Every structure is written in structure tokens, then in C-alpha cells.
Amino acid sequence: MAQIGLVLGRFHRKEAEEMLAEARDVAARLGLQIAAETWVPGSMETPLAVKRLLRRPEVAGVAALGIIERGETSHGLVMGHAVIKSLIDLQLEFMKPVGVGILGPDIHPSQIPSRVRPYAAAAVEAIATMLTE
């Protein structure tokens, strides 16, 4: 059974808890074991936590879960691009899949509730798919 890690941003704790529940359910359904669940302050800290998990030999892939909400400035948009680019780079560096379940960047608060579970599920499903490709 392949082992995966989960990294969750706690800035939107309520939504992240829902993402965690969905990720656990989907992982179990797909026959993946969760080796670690790591909480970080927000999406900016996600790449470092993902890298730490990818360095573990038993971890076959990591799902990054969180939200980068629309703000009054373009900070979230810039940060979102940097975070996603870092996650792609880590995936290629370690040759292990990184499922991205980060809503946004620039997501409006009204768009969040309906996307929480589908994004978490898609991140875990992406790992499972890439482990068999």
C-alpha cells in the first residue's frame, strides 16, 4: 500500500478540516495510506513542508491542501503563482507526485464552500493516478 503525506494550511482552519476529512476518505477508497498530516500556517509555508515529506523514502506523494483567498491587493495572486511553481518544481525534483488542492489564488469567499471537498479529492486522486502511470 502506497503511503502519502498531506500538508494543510490552517489559515482557513474550518475549510481545511473539511478538506482533510475528504482527503482521508478518498485515500482509503483508493488504497493509499496516509503516512503524515502536517499543518502549516498558510500556503506560503506549504512548499517547505511538502519538501520535508517528499524527502522521506516511504512517502510516495504529497497532497497540498489550502486556500489562497482574493484580497484587496494582488499579494494572494503573486503568492499563489510562487507556491504552485514551487510545488511543480518539487514534484520534478523528487520525481514523486504532488497533488495540488489549493483553492485559488484569487478565489472569492462565495466560491469556496462548493470547492473544498472536490479540490481535496482531486489532489489525492492525482497522486493515485500518477503512482500508476
Phi-psi sector, 31: left (phi>0), alpha (psi -120 to 50), beta = left
SS3 58: coil
Beta-strand (E) ranges in 15-122?
33-40, 59-69, 98-107
**Tell me, what amino acid is at 109?**
P
Clarify whether 75 is annotated catalytic. Answer: yes
**Catalytic residue IDs:** 75
